[in-house]
Amino acid sequence: MNHTPSGAEQTSAAASVPEPRLRVDQLTVRFGGLTALDDVSFEVGAGEVVALIGPNGAGKTTVFNAVCGLVRRAAGEIRIDGVSAPSRPTGLVTRRVARTLQGLGLFDSMSVLENVLVPLESGASGRAVGRTSRADATTQASGCLERLGIAHLASRPVAALPYPERKRVALARALVTGPTLLLLDEPAGGLGEEDIDALADVVRAVAASGCSVLLVEHHVDFVMGVADRIVVLDFGRVIACGTPDEVRADPRVEEAYLGIEPAA
Ligand SMILES: Nc1ncnc2c1ncn2[C@@H]1O[C@H](COP(=O)(O)OP(=O)(O)OP(=O)(O)O)[C@@H](O)[C@H]1O
């Protein structure tokens, strides 16, 4: 007798197959007549750091926006922890995905700790809020500051901090709700070499702790040093994907970045 699996059975079968943190499958996004992403597929596995690189306008930010449900997809699927995400912001994204912005978006007049408490107390995290007392939230936020090496700055107003520390605060705020996927938008931008090295350690530690990282970055040395795998976009298409060594050796990447024709 044929047996059609119920929804619950399908869910349980899917749960038994290890799913990547993020699966982007044949994603196409159009803005009017412009195809910003064209049949883009890649994955971010558990504990992985994946970098999305490519020239200006290649479609990197559009990938982030699509993962967050902020742009309408013309085609394709996005799965987060094995669950299909619709083309709009949902609880799935708010619970599991955190994102840092190039502009940081911190509240300058508030202290470091108060900034990191915001997602726990505002409802933005979609979890814990309402069930987390102020004391629990403070413990959670303080632990996050500790892990990022900025506990000593907890009571300082954000406005008084140098840029590298402000970036750390933005990272702490993104991580405080315990996401499973962190989207980092140009994390090395505006940092000096020393801070970039320290940032690479932090990013690797975040991934090792179980929160996979997808980052967009133009600083090639940082990307080569921190990423397990690199996805290269050009004109909305994936032109290369592999380890840093594989991508570095790929003539298509050199051509896209430097305009150098690959050898015939
Ligand atoms: N909301 C929008 N409406 C129309 N076109 C858009 C929109 N968002 C992005 N685009 C276009 O889609 C293409 C991809 O843009 P996107 O911002 O994703 O590129 P990017 O790789 O992030 O570039 P950069 O490195 O400069 O930030 C570009 O041609 C851009 O002009």
- Rounded distance from Cα 102 to ligand 1 centre (Å): 15
Sign of the Cα torsion 172, 190, 181, 95 reads positive
Number of C-beta neighbours around residue 186 at 10 A:
18
234 CA from centroid of ligand 1 (Å): 12
Q: Residues with beta carbon inside 6 Å of ligand 1?
A: 31, 34, 36, 54, 56-62
Confirm whether the ipTM is greater than 0.90.
yes
The pLDDT value recorded for residue 24 is 98
pLDDT at 6 over 60: no
Predicted pLDDT of residue 129 = 46
Q: What is the homologous superfamily of the domain 19-258 according to CATH?
A: P-loop containing nucleotide triphosphate hydrolases (3.40.50.300)
Please answer whether residues 128 and 134 qualify as being in contact, where contact means their C-beta atoms are separated by less than 8 angstroms.
no
Residues pairing with 230 in the sheet: 51, 242
- CA of 142 relative to ligand 1 center, distance in Å: 37
Using CA atoms of 160, 150, 187, 200 in order, give the dihedral in degrees to the nearest 10: 140
Q: Whose CA is nearest to atom 2 of ligand 1?
A: 31
Residues ≥6 apart with Cβ < 8 Å to 208: 47
Residue 76 has what pLDDT?
97
Question: Which positions ≥6 away from 193 have C-beta within 8 Å?
Answer: none
> H or E segment at 11?
helix 7-16
Q: What is the pLDDT of residues 191-212, one digit of tens each?
A: 999 999 999 999 999 999 999 9
Q: In one letter, which amino acid is 219?
A: H
Q: Ligand 1 mean position to 137 CA, how many Å?
A: 37
Report DSSP letters for 93-132, one per residue: HHHHEEEE-TT----TTSBHHHHHHHHHHHSTTSSSTTTS
pLDDT digits (tens, 9 = 90+) for 136-173: 888 989 999 999 999 999 999 999 899 999 999 999 99
Mutate-to-test residue for ligand 1 from 30, 61, 68, highest number of ligand atoms within 8 A of CB:
61
Atom 31 in ligand 1: residue holding the nearest Cα: 57
Segment 121-131, tens digit of pLDDT:
875 544 444 55
Whole-number Å distance, alpha carbon 53 to ligand 1 midpoint, is: 13
- The set of residues, in sequence order, having a beta carbon less than 8 Å from that of 149 and lying 6+ positions away, is 168, 202
Closest approach atom of ligand 1 to CA 29: 12
Ligand 1 mean position to 36 CA, how many Å? 7
72's tokens: 């309408």
Nearest CA to ligand 1 atom 3: 31
- Residue extents of the structural domains in the chain: 19-258
Q: Is 74 left (phi over 0), alpha (psi -120 to 50) or beta?
A: alpha
Residue 77 bridge partners (DSSP): 25
